[in-house]
Amino acid sequence: MLIPLKQFICDSCKKPIVNIEDGWIEWESYIDAKTDKIVSKNFRICHHNNKCQKLIKHPNCADLPLSDFTGDYAIVQTISMLDIGVYHDPTYAVGSEIENLREFAELQRRLLLPYYEEARQYWNEAINQGYFGDMNEISIYLPSFLKRMIEDFSESH
């Protein structure tokens, strides 16, 4: 079992990132010519090496150590990607945009919800088996449920 919020699964090699220091987050970031806002997309968690970092050679690559997105920094870092705040941008003129909010919400779940990172590997199987039943949009993300889901599905593998 992964240590929640301290170990992650690499989006490239699919192996665990056991030490936070070995992890990296990369994404594409560019300035939209029409709105003059920073647009971000294609968020990835990966090992910090040339083999797993796929966007490193992309001209619009933005990246930071995974440690910048964990602990107390996690929520601050991800919220600032949505809005740098009234102090630095009082009129929301600079601003930033996330191209795909669902993709960004997935990144936040991975970084902020205990047990989600490991449970997500069973997500499609759980859907196909009707595991979520009539649960609402909140319950399926509760840490206690995610932990139980890992236990139920890891036993069957």
Measured between alpha carbons, how far is 56 from 119 in angstroms, rounded to an integer? 28
The string of pLDDT tens digits covering residues 72-126 is: 889 999 998 888 899 988 987 777 789 999 999 999 999 999 999 999 999 999 9
The residue extents of the domains of the chain are: 8-112, 114-157
What is the predicted pLDDT for the residue at 157?
A: 66
Instruction: Provide the CB-side half-sphere exposure for 62 (13 A, CA).
Output: 12
In this predicted structure, the answer to whether residue 133 has a pLDDT above a threshold of 70 is: yes
Model confidence, pTM? 0.92
Task: Tell me the Cα Rg of the chain.
Answer: 17
